[in-house]
Amino acid sequence: MEQLPKMNLNELKDKIDSGKYILFFTADWCPDCSFIKPAMPEIEAEYKEYTFLTVDRDENIDLAAELSVMGIPSFIAFNNGEEIGRFVNKDRKTKKQVEEFIDSLN
């Protein structure tokens, strides 16, 4: 999974302008993020139509705020630069919940 470098919202929009993306907002200190991280390679392999980008919430705090991501771990899906769904809250997320979120996008 590609790690998103520090960037602002305009730079992000340029990057995700074409194709399907899922942004995974996380932080090293977050226990609920550590809970879902081991499942992410399986989820990524299951949904090959999406490019998954890991976003370090602390490194990209302004971007997270611009996207109204207050809790982590959180996921935002985009198709050709347009947001198509979000699973954003501060709760622990299971592999099944993340898969149900992605399935709901289609």
Which residues are catalytic, by number?
Answer: 30, 33
Which two tokens mark 40?
Answer: 């992410």
Tally of CA atoms within 13 A in the half-sphere of 71 that contains its CB:
9
Q: What are the CA-CA distances from residue 13 to residues 24, 40, 78, 79 (Å)?
A: 15, 23, 10, 11
Cα(57)–Cα(73) distance, integer angstroms: 9
